[in-house]
Amino acid sequence: MADATVSIALTDEFAQRGRWRAFRDSSVEASYRAWHRDQIIPIFRVVVVGAAAFWALVPVSFGLLVGEAPRALYISSWAIAVPIFLGGLVASFTRLRRWTIGLILVGMIVIGFDFIWVFSIMYGPVSGAITCGVLATIFFPLILRIPTGSAAIAVAAVIAVPIGLLVNGTRQGDIAVYDSWLYVAMLVTNGPLVVVVAAFIEVGMRQTFAAERTIARQQGQLQASQQLLRRYAPSAVAGRIESGDATAVGQPQRLRVTALSSDVAGFTALADQIDPESLSQIINEYMATMSDAVESQGGVVTEFAGDGLMAIFGAPEAFEPEEQVRRALSAASAMHARLADLNKTWFRLGIEQPLQVRIGINTGMLSVGTFGSDGRATYTAIGLQMNVAARIQAQCEPGGILLSSASWHLVNDTVECDSLGEVSVKGVHYPISIYALRHRA
C-alpha cells in the first residue's frame, strides 16, 4: 500500500499537459528545463567546435581542391563560423546557460539562411544543392535535441526561403515546374518529419528526466529509511540487514563473546538537580558519544537503560576472544576520554562536578541474536555472563575499568592490571576473580 501511494504521488508530480508538452507543475518544468540544458550543452559544445572549425576551413579547402575561392564563400563561411563560436562561448558561462536554446535557435536560422545565400550565389537559387544544404541544416534540431516548439520555428524559417525561391524560379522559367515541385515536396515533407522526430525525442527526454528524478527520490527515501534504521538498530546489525545478510543477526546462537557494562556514577542524584531539558541534552550527548566509542572498535551496543550501557564484542562481526577483549578495553578507554570532553561542555549547563563512568568487562558463552516477536524485536545477548559483566561493573570505582578473570587471562601478557581478589556476584554460585586496569601515569 505504501509503495502504491509513492507511485501515485510520483505520477502526479510528473503529469504533463500533453504527450510532449510541459509538466503541469511549474517547479518540475523549471527543473526539467535546467536538466535539459545540462544534457544538451556537452553536445552543443562538440557541435560548436566542429562546425566552427569546419566553416572556417571551407574557403581554404575549396581553394586547394577547386581553385581560388570566391569572396562570397569567405564571407558566408565566416558569417557562419563566427556566430557559432560566439554562441558556444556564451553558452559556456553558467549565468548565460538559460539562453542556450535561444542561441541554438537563432544560430540554426542564421546558418540555414547562409546556406541558401551561398548556394544561390554560387549555383543559382534553384540548385539542388540548396535543397540538400537546407535538409542538412534542419536536421540540426535532432542532433542538438532542442524542444519541439523551437525545432518547428527553426524548420519553418529555414525551409520557407528556399520554397519561395523555387516558386519564384518556376514563375520566371528558370526551372521546370516538375523539378520545382519535386524540391518543394521534399522540403514540405521533410520539414514536418523533423518536427515529429523532435517531438518523439522530447517525449523520450521527458520520460528520462522523470525516471531519473523518480530513482533519485526513491534512493533518497531509501537512505532516509536506512538512517532511521540505524537510529534504532546498532550499525553492525543495520549493515547486515541492508546487505541482505539478515540471517547473521537473526536466529539466536551460542557464541563466545566479550560483554561490556558501563554506568555513570552519581547520575541518579544529578538527574534530580537539573531541569529536564538539560538532562535530555546530557543523555542524548552521552549516548551518542559512548555508542560511537563502542562502534569504532567493532562493538555493538545492545542496550541503553538510563545512563547504563551494555555492549558486546565478537558478534555479529566475529573476532578471536583475545581481540574481543582488546577492543573492549580500547572502547572503555575511549569512553573515559570522551566523557572528560563532555564534562567540559556540560559545565556550561551547571554540572560543576565532573561525571565519571564505571566499566566492567567479561568474556563467556552467551546466546546472541534477535529476540522478540514479529512486531517488535531487538538484537542482543542474554545469559549469565552478561549479568557477570554488570555485577563486576557495580564493584568498579568511578573512572575505572574492571575485568573478570576470564577476560584478564586472554590479555594478561599485554595489559597491566592489579588483582583485586575474589568477589561474590549475585546469581553466580562461585566467587569471581576481578582485575583493575592499571592507569598509566
- Average pLDDT (326-348) is 92
pLDDT, residue 407, reads 97
Task: For 172-226, give the DSSP string.
Answer: HTSS-HHHHHHHHHHHHHHHHHHHHHHHHHHHHHHHHHHHHHHHHHHHHHHHHHH
Point out the least confidently predicted range of 201-215, 229-243, 341-355, 416-430: 229-243
- The rounded distance, in Å, linking the Cα atoms of 208 and 12 is 16
Cβ atoms of 335 and 262 within 8 Å: the answer is: yes
Distant-in-sequence, close-in-space partners of 46: CB < 8 Å, separation ≥ 6: none
- Average pLDDT (67-88) is 77
- Average pLDDT (250-269) is 87
pLDDT, residue 6, reads 44
Task: For 89-121, give the DSSP string.
Answer: HHHTSGGGGGGHHHHHHHHHHHHHHHHHHHHHH
The residue that leads in pLDDT, 43 or 248, is 43
- The pLDDT confidence band at residue 52, using thresholds 50, 70 and 90, is confident
Model confidence pLDDT, tens digit, residues 156-180: 877 777 777 777 777 777 666 666 6
- Average pLDDT (77-101) is 74
pLDDT, residue 261, reads 96
pLDDT, residue 136, reads 58
- The pLDDT confidence band at residue 399, using thresholds 50, 70 and 90, is very high
- The stretches of 233-249 forming alpha helices (DSSP H) are 235-242
Cβ atoms of 237 and 316 within 8 Å: the answer is: yes
pLDDT, residue 310, reads 94
Percent of residues in the chain assigned helix, strand, coil, to nearest 5: 65, 15, 20
pLDDT, residue 109, reads 75
- Average pLDDT (414-435) is 88
Cβ atoms of 82 and 53 within 8 Å: the answer is: no
DSSP state of 124: -
The residue that leads in pLDDT, 100 or 204, is 204
Model confidence pLDDT, tens digit, residues 180-200: 677 777 777 777 888 888 888
pLDDT, residue 5, reads 45
100 CB neighbour count, 10 Å cutoff: 23
Q: What pTM was computed for the model? A: 0.56
Distant-in-sequence, close-in-space partners of 240: CB < 8 Å, separation ≥ 6: 246, 248, 249, 316
- The pLDDT confidence band at residue 337, using thresholds 50, 70 and 90, is very high
Q: Which residues pair with 17 in a beta bridge?
A: none
Q: Please provide the CATH number assigned to the domain covering 250-437.
A: 3.30.70.1230
**Domain range summary for the chain, segments of one domain joined by +:** 2-221, 250-437
Residue 426 has pLDDT above 80, yes or no: no
Cβ atoms of 290 and 341 within 8 Å: the answer is: no
